[in-house]
C-alpha cells in the first residue's frame, strides 16, 4: 500500500472530526437533544422513551466540555468511529485506491452526515450497528469464546441505544439460521441478556412504562396514503439524496455470495419490508430506517469498486449532496442560509425573554417536554413540564423533577392561558402566555385504577376506582377534581368531562400518604360519537386534568 494512502484516510477522518466539533460547538441544541440532556441530569438504567445510552453519551461529554459541545462531544467521536468500522468491513483490496470515493459516498448520506454531530439515540444506534456487523463478520471467520463475548456485548450496546435495534439482531439471525445450533452464538446471546439485565430490572420496577408507551399508548391517526406509505418511500429517497438511484441499484444487483453479504442484504431488505408494512398503520419517521445506511454503504462501495459507471455517478451526485448538506449545516448556525425556520434558531433568544419575566423563579411549561429542558439548559434555572390529559406522558411523568417546583412561586407558561398580561414571542412567531402561581402544587403521580371487570355496561353501572397516593403527604380531597377523557380509535382525545358523582367508600377528607383510597363513580355522558377508549385524570388546585389513568378500551357503549 502506498505510503500516502493511510495518510489520506487519516486526513479525511481528522478533517471530518474537526468540522463536526466546530459544528457541535456553534449550533444551538435541537429540542430532542435538550430532552436527552435532561435525561443525563439524573442517570438511570432507563428512561420513559428510550434506553440509557444517549444519556450516558451526554454525561461523558459533560466531563470534557460545557455548553453544546458538552452534549455532543461523544457523538463526534462515535461518528468517525462509524466511518472507520464501515471501512474495516470492506475486504476488497482495491478500496485503498478509492478512499475519496468512500468518503464522498459516506458524507453524501444525509442522516449519516447529520448524526455526525447531533446527539440522538440514532447516533449510537448507527455506531453499534456497524460494530455489531464487524463483530459478526469476525465471528463468521472463526467461532471463539472471545468473539462470542464481543458479539454479545455489541448486541447489548445496540439494545441500550434504541429499542428497535432488536430488528438488526433478528434480521441478521434470519440470514443464518444455523446460528441456532451454534453454542458460541448462544453464548453471545447469554452475554447480551446478562449485560442488558439492569435495564430489564428498570423496566420491571417502572411497570414496563417504555414498552407500554411504544406498543400501546402512542396516539395515531387514520391511515393516509400520502403521509404514511408514500411518505415512507420518500424517506427511502431522502436518507440518500441524489445518489439514491445508484445506491438502490447496487442493492438490487448484489447477490448473497457469502454469509456476511447475505446478512447485509437481509438487514437492508428486512428493514425496508418491515417499515413498509408499518406504513399502513402509522407514519414512519425517517430516522427509523436510518440503520440501512450502514449495510448500504458497504454494499454500494463494494459494487462501485467493480462498476465504473456507478462509481462516476455516485461521485458526481455525491458531491452535489455534500455541497447542499454543507450549506444546510452552515444554515443551522447562520439562520439566513437555512430555507425555513429550524429549531436550532432562536432558542437562546426566547430563553432570555423568559428569564427576564421569571425573575429567578422556576418555570412550569404546560405540555412541553421540549421547551422545559431547553429552557433549563440555556438558563440554568429549574423547569418542569406539567403534562395534562390532552398530551402524553414523558420523562417528566416518572422522574423526581416535580418536587423541584412544589410549593414555590413559579412562572406558568401555556399557549392557552386566558390572562394575557404576560407573553413572549418565539423566533418562528409563536406567542406564549404566562402567569405567576404563588404556591404551585401538582400531584401528577396520583394513580387512578379502574376495575375493568365492571365494564360490560359502562352507563348503567357504578364503577370501582382505586386512587393510589405515592406521596409522603396526605392530599386534601377538596383540592382535587376528577375528570374523564374520551378517545377515538387512534387514541386521540376528542372530549373531556368532569366526574360529578365520585363517592368514597368511607367518609374521608384526604388521600392518605402511600395508601390507596376506594371510590365509586359512573362515566359522564359525552357528545362524542362512538368513543373507543376513556382515561381518568385528576385536576389539582384547578390545574388542567392530568394523565393519572391508563387508556381503557370501551367494549360496549349504550348512551
DSSP for 34-75?
Answer: HHHHHHHTS--S--SSS-SHHHHHHHHHHTT--TTHHHHHHH
In DSSP notation, 190-250 reads HHHHHHTHHHHHHHHHTTTHHHHIIIII-------TTTTHHHHHHHHHHTTGGGHHHHHHH
Is it true that domain 447-553 has CATH number 3.30.450?
no
Is a pLDDT exceeding 70 seen at residue 387?
yes
Mean pLDDT, range 168-188, rounded to an integer: 97
pLDDT of residue 3: 44
Pairwise pLDDT comparison (338 vs 69), residue with the higher score = 69
pLDDT of residue 458: 62
Task: Give the other-Cβ count within 10 Å of 47's Cβ.
Answer: 26
Please give the average per-residue pLDDT across 111-139, as a whole number.
95
- Among 11-25, 61-75, 383-397, 418-432, which stretch is predicted with the lowest mean pLDDT? 418-432
Residues 185, 178: contact at Cβ < 8 Å?
no
Q: pLDDT value at position 333?
A: 94
53-67 average pLDDT score: 97
Domain coordinates in residue numbering, the chain: 4-336, 347-437, 447-553
| Residue-level pLDDT at 88 | 96
Q: Crossing angle, helix 308-333 and helix 293-306, to 10 degrees?
A: 140
Average pLDDT over every residue of 285-300: 96
pLDDT at 2 over 50: no
User: pLDDT value at position 416?
Assistant: 80
Tens-digit pLDDT profile for residues 91-106: 999 999 999 999 999 9
Q: What is the band of 556 on the pLDDT scale with cuts at 50, 70, 90?
A: low
Scan for cell 430563553, then name that residue. Answer: 351
Q: Is 3 helix (H, G, I), strand (E, B) or coil?
A: coil
Backbone angles phi, psi at 446, to 5 degrees: -60, 140
Side-by-side strand order, sheet with 431-437: 383-386, 363-366, 410-414, 431-437, 422-425
pLDDT band for position 428 (cuts 50, 70, 90): confident
Residues 6+ apart with CB under 8 A from 331: 337, 338, 339, 342
Which pLDDT score is estimated for 67?
A: 96
Any idea what DSSP says for residue 344?
Answer: T
Could you tell me which residues are beta bridge partners of residue 480?
540
Parallel/antiparallel/unpaired status of strands 410-414 and 363-366: parallel
Q: 136-150, 416-430, 478-492 — which is least confidently predicted?
A: 416-430
Average pLDDT score over the chain: 93
Q: Which residue has the higher pLDDT, 429 or 189?
A: 189
| pLDDT above 80: residue 455 | no
Q: CA of 200: how far to CAs of 47, 83, 128, 162, 551, in Å? A: 12, 31, 20, 14, 24
Which pLDDT does position 558 carry in this prediction?
A: 54
Checking if the pLDDT of 347 tops 60, the result is: yes
Average of pLDDT values for 304-315? 96
**Residue 314: what are its φ and ψ, rounded to 5°?**
-65, -40
Q: What is the pLDDT of residues 186-241, one digit of tens each?
A: 999 999 999 999 999 999 999 999 998 888 777 778 888 999 999 999 999 999 99
What gap in Å lies between CA 174 and CA 182, rounded to an integer?
Answer: 14
Amino acid at each position: 500500500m502506498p505510503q500516502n494512502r493511510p495518510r489520506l484516510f487519516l486526513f479525511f477522518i481528522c478533517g471530518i472530526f474537526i468540522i463536526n466539533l466546530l459544528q457541535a460547538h456553534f449550533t444551538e441544541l435541537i429540542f430532542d437533544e435538550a430532552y436527552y440532556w435532561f435525561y443525563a441530569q439524573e442517570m438511570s438504567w432507563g428512561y420513559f422513551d428510550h434506553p440509557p445510552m444517549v444519556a450516558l453519551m451526554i454525561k461523558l461529554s459533560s466531563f470534557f466540555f460545557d455548553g453544546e459541545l458538552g452534549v455532543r462531544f461523544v457523538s463526534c467521536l462515535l461518528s468517525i468511529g462509524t466511518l472507520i468500522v464501515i471501512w474495516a468491513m470492506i475486504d476488497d483490496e482495491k478500496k485503498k485506491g478509492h478512499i475519496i470515493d468512500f468518503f464522498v459516498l459516506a458524507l453524501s448520506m444525509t442522516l449519516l452526515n447529520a448524526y455526525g454531530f447531533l446527539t440522538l439515540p440514532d447516533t449510537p444506534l448507527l455506531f453499534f450497528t456497524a460494530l455489531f456487523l464487524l463483530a459478526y463478520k469476525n465471528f463468521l471467520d472463526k467461532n471463539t469464546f472471545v468473539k462470542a463475548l464481543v458479539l454479545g456485548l455489541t448486541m447489548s450496546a445496540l439494545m441500550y441505544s434504541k429499542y428497535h435495534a432488536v430488528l438488526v439482531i433478528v434480521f441478521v439471525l434470519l440470514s443464518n439460521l444455523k446460528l441456532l445450533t451454534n453454542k458460541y452464538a448462544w453464548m453471545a446471546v447469554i452475554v447480551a441478556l446478562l449485560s442488558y439485565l439492569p435495564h430489564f430490572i428498570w423496566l420491571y420496577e417502572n411497570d414496563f412504562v417504555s414498552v407500554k408507551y411504544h406498543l400501546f399508548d402512542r396516539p395515531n391517526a387514520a391511515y393516509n396514503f400520502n403521509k404514511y406509505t408514500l411518505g415512507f418511500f420518500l424517506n427511502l429517497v431522502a436518507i440518500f439524496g441524489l445518489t439514491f438511484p445508484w445506491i438502490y441499484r447496487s442493492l438490487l444487483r448484489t447477490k448473497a455470495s457469502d454469509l456476511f453479504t447475505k446478512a447485509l442484504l437481509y438487514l437492508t431488505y428486512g428493514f425496508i419490508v418491515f417499515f413498509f408494512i408499518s406504513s399502513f398503520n402509522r407514519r414512519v419517521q425517517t430516522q427509523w430506517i436510518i440503520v440501512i445506511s450502514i449495510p448500504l454503504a458497504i454494499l454500494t462501495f463494494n459494487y462501485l469498486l467493480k462498476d465504473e459507471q456507478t462509481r462516476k455517478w455516485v461521485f458526481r451526485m455525491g458531491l452535489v449532496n455534500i455541497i447542499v448538506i454543507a450549506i444546510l449545516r452552515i444554515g443551522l448556525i447562520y439562520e439566513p442560509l437555512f430555507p425555513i425556520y429550524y429549531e436550532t434558531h432562536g432558542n437562546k433568544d426566547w430563553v432570555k425573554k423568559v428569564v427576564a419575566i421569571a425573575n429567578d423563579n422556576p418555570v412550569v411549561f404546560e405540555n412541553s417536554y421540549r421547551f422545559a429542558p431547553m429552557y433549563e439548559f440555556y438558563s440554568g434555572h429549574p423547569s418542569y413540564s406539567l403534562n395534562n390529559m390532552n398530551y402524553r406522558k414523558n420523562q417528566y411523568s416518572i422522574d423526581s423533577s416535580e418536587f423541584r417546583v412544589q410549593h414555590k412561586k413559579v412562572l406558568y407558561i401555556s399557549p392557552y392561558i386566558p390572562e394575557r398580561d404576560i407573553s413572549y414571542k418565539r423566533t418562528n412567531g409563536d406567542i406564549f402566555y404566562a402567569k405567576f402561581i404563588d404556591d404551585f402544587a401538582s400531584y401528577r403521580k396520583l394513580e387512578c385504577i379502574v376495575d375493568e371487570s365492571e365494564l360490560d355496561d359502562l352507563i348503567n353501572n357504578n364503577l370501582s376506582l382505586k386512587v393510589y397516593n405515592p406521596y409522603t403527604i396526605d392530599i386534601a380531597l377538596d383540592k382535587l377534581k376528577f375528570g374523564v377523557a374520551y378517545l377515538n380509535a387512534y387514541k386521540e382525545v376528542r372530549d373531556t368531562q368532569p366526574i360529578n358523582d365520585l363517592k368514597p367508600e368511607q367518609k374521608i377528607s384526604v388521600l392518605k400518604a402511600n395508601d390507596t383510597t376506594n371510590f365509586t363513580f359512573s362515566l359522564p355522558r359525552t357528545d362524542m360519537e362512538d368513543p373507543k377508549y376513556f382515561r381518568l385524570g385528576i385536576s389539582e388546585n384547578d390545574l388542567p386534568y392530568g394523565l393519572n389513568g391508563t387508556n381503557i378500551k370501551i367494549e360496549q357503549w349504550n348512551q
